[in-house]
Amino acid sequence: MGTTTFGREGENLAKVYLEKKGYKFLDRNFKRIHGEVDLIMMDGDVIVFVEVKSRHNRKYGDPIEAVNKYKQKHIRYCANLYLSSHRITDQSVRFDVVEVLASAGRAVRYRHTRNAF
């Protein structure tokens, strides 16, 4: 499985994981020239912009470590564009990271960091 396919599958798994926790799905892969938001969900009355990081193992560290300041800046930029393009004002927002660890023969493990940045 290629990295793009694996990443997409990780996003699918994260979406289902969050829906089981009561989140409502709004959108996915909201792309603009300077970035992308993987998942956009509602948690009660809060819009949650979710970065999903999928890994087979922790060989290169925890997946959340890949969400550096540069990546955060681009996610925030896309989130603001999403809000303005949907004419959303006066709405609470949050930025979460969902780590998906999936390797052959093992159960999928999740780590959800609310208010990650």
The CATH number assigned to the domain holding 15 equals 3.40.1350.10
Structural domain for 7, as ranges: 3-113
pLDDT tens track for 11-53: 999 999 999 999 999 999 999 888 899 999 999 999 999 999 9
pLDDT tens track for 71-106: 999 999 999 999 999 999 999 999 999 999 887 666
Of 19, 49, 25, give the one whose Cα is nearest residue 37. 49
Residue 4 is predicted with a pLDDT of 63
Q: How many CB atoms lie within 10 A of CB 73?
A: 13
Number of domains composing the chain: 1
pLDDT tens track for 42-79: 999 999 999 999 887 777 788 898 999 999 999 999 99
Q: Give Cβ neighbours of residue 71 (< 8 Å, ≥ 6 apart).
A: 35, 51
